[in-house]
Structure 1
Amino acid sequence: MSARPVALSATPESSLARTGVLLMLLGMLMFALNDVMGKWLVSTYSVGQVVFVRSIAALIVLAPFLWFSGPKKVMQVDRPFMQLARVAASTAEIFAFYFAVVYLPLADVMTYWLAAPIYVAAISPLVLKEPVGWRRWSAIIVGFIGVVIALEPSSQALTPQAIISILGSMTFALMLLLGRSLRGTPDTTLVFWQIVGAGLAGAGSLYFDWKPVSPRDLVLLGVLGVVAMLAHMLVNRALKMADAATVAPLQYTLLFWAIVFGWLVFGDVPRLPMLIGSGFIVASGLFIFFREQQLKRQGRIKEEPVEAIVTGSGDPV
């Protein structure tokens, strides 16, 4: 008898939180599927060609939102040099991601990219003058140890592609830092110029390496951009429906999907050092996140929007 009143007395907030969790999980699954399609396509077509067509598809999806918010607002860019730096970092990160997944398993690349929030926490005191206490510094060190374990510096796993992957994740961290300094810029504006920058870079490479696209792959290239935009919409909606502390940690399910799809689709068996290193990285990232949430509640650091941890393939936002 006692179970029925409990079920019936569920608050609207708890219902919204459950919906937010489901949306976040679905968004992460869509990002993972997007990464799989990206890895599949760059095995046949150049990175620039994939990025170009993907950007066109993403712009088509974004067009109604641009029209609704007003095209003039998109063109009115505050702090243009900072915006340009963010677009450059985002474009470099996208190309690095696609280049990395050509040669490395998805799980390896995702492990390196998940270290980006750790780099942000380490650089924030220098760039944004944000204080970092000994607890977060300890977590940062643990995260760096995880990166070293995953890289296996003394083995053949330390390849130029792995190094490019690490550099790409650092560029992603730089993009996140620049995004923090552009908090006043509407999301639509950030997204639009980010897609335009990637599309222009992709277009610039078409002259050197363009291959005829089969009808099937043309559909996949279009879906690549559409799925990425839809995934971001799901993530953004999840962050609005539920507390960040509830849904943001679910972004680490990307690693689970990367392992599963890498194994099922590409036959990539996860390396033990990668699994151990990813455990260090995820634990470090989660500690840093929850510690920052605690400090925000105490008013010791500034409140700011939570940014999704997404890969280059899943990122036009």
Structure 2
Amino acid sequence: MRAGAAEQASAGEPASSGERTQRPWLAVLLMAAAMLCFTTLDTIMRALYAEHPLPMLVFVRNLVQVAALALLVPVIGPGFTRTRRVGIHILRGICLVLTTVFITLALGNLPMAQTYSITFSTPLMATVLAAVALGERPSTAQWVCIFIGLVGVVIVLDPQDFVFGPALLYPLAMAFFNAVLYVLTRYAGQQEGPLTLVFWASLAALAICLAGLPFYAVPIPLTACALLAVGGVAGTAAHLMITGACRLAPMAVVSPILYSQIVWAGLIGWLVFEEVPAAHVMMGSALIIACGIVTLRSRTT
């Protein structure tokens, strides 16, 4: 699951009951389109990672997102740029940088479908972390889902032909830091709206990248910058569409659509990288997705 999607969907200012149930089909379409945008961004990052240094890609990607969100100020107003939780957002920015790094490393070394299948364990990890950090008490059904979801991860890793390598740690690390980001966002989201959460996480991530820029700065061709601009705009559009979807339908309706990303990943992986998901990946994905849906729905009902 792309960094920031689940946590943004579960945090922020709730809409009224009437507003949330007005157009559920539009909400579903917006959420599915958001997942396509995230997958497009990941595809661009994966393609550019083969020829360009990862730190520069992460820097430009965050720069584009902050610039795109800043352009919304004249339209929406400066209200979403105000916060009282700078420290929390700095931690969220660190997590955002790490999730971007690890998802790119994972996609650069593993098939897209397998990578996303493992990262979909984020809600399961977040449930455990929330129980420890926030004192939330998972139900018996949620603990069962966590166990079954971990079984799904093992199936995706294919224990029969398992060969340990650093590449397998990348999607697991992405899922872990995304889960930390999820928990931090749930905490900050008690007082701040979705756009504020997205803006400040992106700004903190950009500041972190700027701090290290003198140590890794190298020129990037204009064509690569243009592709990163497209990816950054796609990522920003995805955040905005998730915000819109959550205001058009209940979370129980829109949260399962987060997992449509595996469909886009399988399609793009096949069309762009000629990857065909293996049977064990699809089987494990089904278990992880089913458990993730139950976990998300039980947290929002």
User: Which category of TM-score, normalised to the shorter sequence, fits these structures?
Assistant: 0.7 to 0.9
The separation in 2 between residues aligned to 1:46 and 1:200, in whole angstroms, is 18
Query: After superposition, where does 1:2-81 map in structure 2 within 5 Å?
Result: 16-66=23-73, 68-70=76-78, 74=81, 76-78=83-85, 80-81=86-87
Larger radius of gyration: 1
1:145 CA drift (Å):
0.7
The secondary structure found in structure 1 opposite 2:103 is: helix
Question: In the alignment, which of 137, 147, 152 is matched to residue 153 of structure 2?
Answer: 147
Instruction: Show the counterpart of 1:124.
Output: 130
1:154 CA drift (Å):
5.6
The separation in 1 between residues aligned to 2:19 and 2:64, in whole angstroms, is 36
Question: In the alignment, which of 62, 78, 97 is matched to residue 91 of structure 1?
Answer: 97
Contact 1:106 1:258 in 2 (8 A): yes
The separation in 1 between residues aligned to 2:31 and 2:163, in whole angstroms, is 32
Give a deviation string over 1:177-233, Cα, whole Å, max 9, x none. 011111213434332332233334444555555554333322111111111101111
The secondary structure found in structure 2 opposite 1:181 is: helix
Instruction: Show the counterpart of 1:4.
Output: none
1:261 CA drift (Å):
0.7
Give the direction of change, closer, same or farther, for the CA distance of 1:178–1:12 in structure 2 (3 Å limit). Answer: closer
Instruction: Show the counterpart of 2:14.
Output: none
Give the direction of change, closer, same or farther, for the CA distance of 1:83–1:231 in structure 2 (3 Å limit). Answer: closer
1:89 CA drift (Å):
1.7
1:253 CA drift (Å):
0.6
Give the direction of change, closer, same or farther, for the CA distance of 1:75–1:245 in structure 2 (3 Å limit). Answer: closer
The answer to whether the aligner puts 1:216 opposite 2:220 as a matched pair is no
Contact 1:96 1:165 in 2 (8 A): yes
The separation in 2 between residues aligned to 1:247 and 1:76, in whole angstroms, is 27
The answer to whether the aligner puts 1:231 opposite 2:238 as a matched pair is yes
Contact 2:24 2:249 in 1 (8 A): yes
Question: In the alignment, which of 266, 270, 279 is matched to residue 272 of structure 1?
Answer: 279
The answer to whether the aligner puts 1:247 opposite 2:235 as a matched pair is no
Give the direction of change, closer, same or farther, for the CA distance of 1:157–1:38 in structure 2 (3 Å limit). Answer: farther
The secondary structure found in structure 1 opposite 2:153 is: helix
Instruction: Show the counterpart of 1:168.
Output: 174
Q: Percent identity?
A: 26
Per the normalisation by structure 1, the TM-score is 0.81
Give a deviation string over 1:220-259, Cα, whole Å, max 9, x none. 1111111110111112111111122112211111011111
Give the direction of change, closer, same or farther, for the CA distance of 1:14–1:186 in structure 2 (3 Å limit). Answer: closer
| Structure 2 unpaired stretches of 5+ | 1-17
| Structure 1 unpaired stretches of 5+ | 1-10, 297-317
Number of aligned pairs? 282
CA RMSD, Structure 1 to Structure 2 (Å): 2.4
> Which has more helix, going by share of residues?
2
